[in-house]
Structure 1
Amino acid sequence: MNYSEIRKFDVTNGPGVRTTIFVSGCTHKCEGCFNEELQDFNYGNKWTKNEENEFISYVSDPVVVGVNILGGEPLQQNMDSCLLNLLKRIKEEYPDKSIWLWTGYVFEDILDNKEKMDIIKLVDILVDGKFEIDKRNLKLKYRGSENQRVIDVKKSLEQGETFQLNV
């Protein structure tokens, strides 16, 4: 897996102070994508155990309430198990810190994909759906277009129906 950026303290994506990674690689090609350079799977830096340890050290800071996984497309990081391993480690070492993940996929379409579900099961909040420039709305929190949803993954999986948050 490659990544373009790690933010130790991020207050723009998700509530509170969070640690963020922007992964590289996406095939959605959304018109108006705000991270177009991250569509290239080879963009940025190679993720290694050193980066993982550094990221975890940021998450350990008491001021950090959670983690953000953006891209690129996190659910297309299937060339290795780096992202899955990172999420497992966060959940094991810091179970009280929420994980938010942004994807161009729609939640209901992910449910039948074991590889993607392995990642989603470790996520607390999912912002789903491709960015659609004709539905762009700068007033929305945590997403760029009106078709995108903020979903409570745990509650949705428990209830068997998609549970959206009103943010």
Structure 2
Amino acid sequence: MHYGEIKNCDIANGEGVRVTLFVSGCTNHCEHCFQPQTWDFDYGQPFTSETEQQLLDLLAPSYIQGLTLLGGEPFEPENQRVLVPFVRRVRETYPQKTVWAFSGFTLEELRTEGSHPRCEATDELLSMLDVLVDGRFVEALKDISLRFRGSSNQRLIDMKKTLASGEIVLLPDLDRKPGQA
């Protein structure tokens, strides 16, 4: 797996101050994607054990709330296979921190046997997430007032509650504007 960028102290891609990993490779090719260079699976640098350690070190400060995975596409099968052991290390080292992932695939696609993104690593990766932001970016549904997503079809899914209940549970109140009740 390759990655295009690591951001430290990111506040745009999940709640709180986060460390963000932009993986490379995406077959969705959403029109008006904000990072089309990350569609190339060889874009950026190789994800190595040194990269893993760098990310773990960046996650150490108490003011860092967690890790966010995006891209590119974290749920391309070849990316999932690399991310699962890494996210497992993050969870073991920092059980109090949250893990978010952004995917152009919907949760339904990720769970459907035979679909492109589903592989032997999918269920474990999903089980380690706190939040999944799912769905392709759709220009016609673009809404800059939404937090943590670009178009209104995308969902902020509470993965712990979703896995516990068996039904999709969305995060509450993230789009409330200041001053709204």
The TM-score, its normalising length taken from structure 1, stands at: 0.96
CA distance in 2, matches of 1:124, 1:134: 28
**Identity over aligned residues, as a percent?**
38
The alignment yields a C-alpha RMSD, in angstroms, of 1.3
Alignment of 1:57-96 (within 5 A): 57-78=57-78, 81-96=81-96
Q: Please state if 1:136 is matched with 2:142.
A: yes
Structure 1 SS opposite 2:37: helix
**C-alpha distance in 2, partners of 1:56/1:115?**
21
Distance 1:110-1:81 versus aligned 2 partners, 3 A rule: closer
Q: Could you tell which deviates more after superposition, 59-68 or 19-28?
A: 59-68
SS at match of 2:156: strand
Structure number with larger C-alpha Rg: 2
Partner of 1:5: 5
Report if the CA contact (8 A) 2:159-2:169 is conserved: yes
Are 1:59 and 1:66, in contact at CA under 8 Å, matched by a contact in 2?
A: yes
TM-score normalised by length of structure 2: 0.88
Aligned residues: 167
- The alpha-carbon distance between structure 1 residues 79 and 55, as it changes in their structure 2 partners (threshold 3 A), is closer
1:30 matched to which residue of 2?
Answer: 30
Aligned letter for 1:138? I
Q: Within 2, Cα distance between the matches of 1:30 and 1:116?
A: 22
2:124 aligned to which of 103, 111, 118? 118
* Structure 1 portions without partners, runs of 5+: none
Q: How far does the alpha carbon of each residue in 1:66-100 deviate from its partner, in whole angstroms, 9 at most, with x for none?
A: 11101000001526732111100011110110000
What displacement does 1:111 show?
2.1
